[in-house]
Homo-oligomer: A and B are copies of this chain.
Amino acid sequence: MTTQRKAPDAARRNETARRAILTAALDLAGEVGYARLSIEGIAARAGAGKQTIYRWWPSKGAVLFDALLMLSEGQGDQPADLPDTGDLEADLKTVLRATVDELNDPRYSEPMRALAVEILLDPALAADFAERLDEPVRELKRRRLSRAQAAGQLAADADLDVAVDLIWGPLRTRWLYREGPLTTAFADTVVETALNGLRPGASSRPTSPTPT
Query: Which positions in A face B, CB cutoff 8 Å?
Result: 33-35, 113, 116-117, 119-123, 126-127, 129-130, 134, 145, 152-159, 161-163, 165-166, 169-170, 172-174, 176-180, 186, 189-190, 193-203, 205, 210
**CA of A202 to CA of B152 in the docked complex: distance in angstroms?**
12
Q: Which of B122, B152, B158, B178 contacts A123 (CB 8 A)?
A: B178
Chain B: minimal CB distance from A62 (Å): 14
A113 neighbours in B (Cβ, 8 Å) = 120
The answer to whether B200 touches A156, judged by C-beta atoms less than 8 angstroms apart, is yes
**CA of A117 to CA of B194 in the docked complex: distance in angstroms?**
28
**CA of A170 to CA of B122 in the docked complex: distance in angstroms?**
21
A205 neighbours in B (Cβ, 8 Å) = 199, 201
A155 neighbours in B (Cβ, 8 Å) = 196, 198-203
**CA of A120 to CA of B186 in the docked complex: distance in angstroms?**
21
Chain B: minimal CB distance from A96 (Å): 12
Which B residue sits closest to A163, measured CB to CB? B198
Chain B: minimal CB distance from A159 (Å): 5
A197 neighbours in B (Cβ, 8 Å) = 193-199, 202
Q: Which of B169, B174, B177 contacts A170 (CB 8 A)?
A: B169
Chain B: minimal CB distance from A88 (Å): 9
Which B residue sits closest to A130, measured CB to CB? B179
Known interface pairs A155-B200, A199-B153; A190-B165 also in contact (CB < 8 Å): yes
Q: Which of B165, B177, B193, B203 contacts A130 (CB 8 A)?
A: B177
Chain B: minimal CB distance from A188 (Å): 10
